[in-house]
Amino acid sequence: MYKKLLTKKIFRDNPYLKNSVQRLIYSTLLFNGIENVANELIMKEGILNNERLNQITREKELIQAVQNPEEIFQLLRKKTDAINRVDLIRKALEFEEVLTPMVLEKLKRNNHDIFIENSVQFLAKSQKNYSLLLKEQYVEIRSPYVQSLICLILGFKGEEDTIPWLLDRFFEMKKLYPCETYDQGPLLALHELNCRFYKR
């Protein structure tokens, strides 16, 4: 229905950047499980010192033991070893219905990179599709960085009718923030929607 909007010219005139935070996050979402594979390789190669290994083990045990959504929410805000992030997101998804409103509300006013990136992984991997809610709450989000990543999630979760909305967000961000990479979120989302709906 919206295929005519995603012309070759749009993508040719606006190539995505190969190096941006949005591109890195897009890759981890696109290749689901890549973090697990990377973590297994790191652990298998024995390149981590004993102090870090002990820290990873303690964190992993803490994450696995938590049964309170509020405690998981606090862990999403704290620095966790990258090796344990997959476990943290998996644990958070066990409490998806309780945590999602808390995460969305916090994202409206949050500038803390760790929480933002954990939240993106959580929302992108959720069982329920929150794309309509994300679009509704988009204008309430203060940070253009968070807005950019919300757009990125919509590339994976949004329906076909999200395309014109994302096109508007792309051109809006490109105009408002010409020296930043915020426009990469909606641009990569449009690439993903193009693949999902028109390149099957």
In this structure, are 48 and 81 located in the same domain? yes
Of 118, 147, 168, the residue at which a domain comes to its end is: 118
For residues 13 and 11, what is the distance between their CA atoms, to the nearest angstrom?
6
**Same domain, yes or no, for 151 and 197?**
yes
**91 and 163 housed in the same domain:** no
**Do 79 and 141 belong to one domain?**
no
**Residue 30, both tokens:** 């696109």
Indicate the pLDDT class of residue 39, thresholds 50, 70 and 90. Answer: low
Number of domains the chain contains: 2
Binning pLDDT at 50, 70 and 90, where does residue 51 land? Answer: confident
Question: CA 112 from chain center: how many Å?
Answer: 14
Contact 155, 190 (CB under 8 A): yes
In 3D space, the residue among 173, 128, 167, 171 whose CA is nearest the CA of residue 146 turns out to be 173
Domain ranges, residue 151 = 1-31+125-200
| Residue in this structure with the two tokens 């509020």, named with its chain if needed | 70
**pLDDT (0 to 100) of residue 33:** 67
Classify burial at 50, counting beta carbons within 10 Å of its beta carbon; exposed 0-12, middle 13-18, buried 19 or more: exposed
Check whether residue 44 and residue 83 sit in a common domain: yes
Q: What is the pLDDT of residue 153?
A: 97
Asked if pLDDT for residue 13 goes beyond 80, the answer is yes
Of 68, 92, 118, the domain-final residue: 118
Point out the domain boundary residue: 118, 147, 166: 118
What is the predicted pLDDT for the residue at 90?
Answer: 93
Average pLDDT over residues 81-103: 93
d(CA 162, CA 157): 10
CA dist 40 and 46 (Å) reads 10
What pTM did the predictor assign? 0.89
Q: Do residues 134 and 99 share a domain?
A: no
Are 64 and 8 within one domain? no
Q: Are residues 42 and 23 in the same domain?
A: no
How does pLDDT run across 144-177, given as a tens digit for each residue? 999 999 999 999 999 999 999 999 999 999 999 9
Residue 101 phi, psi dihedral angles, 5° rounding: -60, -35
Domain shared by 19 and 46, yes or no: no
Question: Do 52 and 15 fall into the same domain?
Answer: no
42 and 112 both lie in a single domain: yes
